Amino acid sequence: MKKANNLLALILALSFLTPSLALTACEKDENAQLTTPPISAPSIEDELPSTPNEPTTPETPTTPSTPPQTDSSDTSAVVKPTAPNAQYIKTTGNSVNLRSGAGTNYAVLGQVHEGESYAVLGKTGKWYKIYYKNQPAYLYADYGAIFTITQNEKKAVESVISEGYKLLGIPYVYGAVRLHDGNGKLLKGFTAQKFDCSSLIQYIFYKGADELLQVTTRTQVKQGKFVAKKDLQRGDCMFFTNESRQYLTGVERVGHVALYLGDNYILHTASDYARIEKISNQRWKFYIESRRFL
């Protein structure tokens, strides 16, 4: 009887506790399914970065529901690579010695006049390495001023110009034997120690880019692509008339050709030797047209 009373008491006690346990369990389940957490609880979205592996910073908080927008039309961040500069040295004194090495103890290869320009190949101490008459030479830095011209992005153009650098100082000889006949057949008697304007241009285009140019200015001007004066680019060939041909007509007016380097500079040979110089006002008066071969 005592055991029965104890069992009855236990049953009555459990009947009072069961509703409380059941309610607690339901509250947990409902909280787990809530789409809006209690005000006092932190939001789950506040605890996560807006983009995986890209945590936000206090200075620039992000809103998960509104990802940052980018303006596809904004090209200000796109930077087009620029071509490197070609470096030149212009002599600032007369009878400046060019030597075979970087020092006064080396042999003198020649003397140059004030205002003459050469392409810089390198520098050793205070001596600039250049090309002079088909060989390396050195010019003392105190007798020159450096300037630069932007290179052409085409390697073939720069290769042609580099061949021209080697010929600076080579004597001008009217009617010099051409390298080839205009179709690639090499000619006997050619030497790289003398050029006139059209033979020099033919030579450097063949050596630098394997490009075949004809044998005179009046045949070369018919080749390539016409280029308006305003569209001149480094590596274009400029054609001029001269005092003896300026009153002729048609192609017969053409009497000179030069390679344009940019910034109003040309590489050519005329009357004395191959050189780099600025286009004078008088030469501009003789200008006819330009052609692009590369």
**What ranges in the chain are assigned the alpha helix state H?**
2-33, 155-166, 197-209, 217-220, 281-285
* Section 67-87 average pLDDT: 60
At residue 78, the pLDDT reads 55
- Contact at 8 Å (CB) between 216 and 272? no
Least confidently predicted of 64-73, 248-257, 284-293: 64-73
Task: Indicate the CATH number of 155-292 among 3.40.50.1360, 3.90.1720.10, 3.30.428.10, 3.30.70.20.
Answer: 3.90.1720.10
Query: Which pLDDT belongs to residue 94?
Result: 92
**Band (82; pLDDT cuts 50, 70, 90):** low
Q: Residues 172-196: what's their mean pLDDT?
A: 98
- Beta-carbon contacts of 161 under 8 Å, excluding residues fewer than 6 positions away, are 86, 152, 204, 208, 234, 235, 259, 261, 267
Task: Report if pTM > 0.75.
Answer: no
Query: What pLDDT is recorded for position 115?
Result: 95
23-27, 165-169, 277-281: segment of lowest average pLDDT = 23-27
pLDDT score of 231? 98
* Residue 48 predicted with pLDDT over 90: no
The predicted structure's pLDDT at residue 83:
72
Tens of pLDDT, residues 214-252: 999 999 999 999 999 999 999 999 999 999 999 999 999
Band (pLDDT 50/70/90 cuts) for residue 37 is very low
Residue, of 119 and 7, whose pLDDT is higher: 119
Identity (one letter) of the amino acid at 107?
A
Give the integer Cα–Cα distance in Å for 255 and 243.
Answer: 9
CATH superfamily of 85-150: SH3 Domains (2.30.30.40)
pLDDT at 102 over 50: yes
Domain residue ranges of the chain, discontinuous segments joined by +:
85-150, 155-292
Query: What integer best gives the mean pLDDT of the chain?
Result: 82
pLDDT band for position 6 (50/70/90)? Answer: low
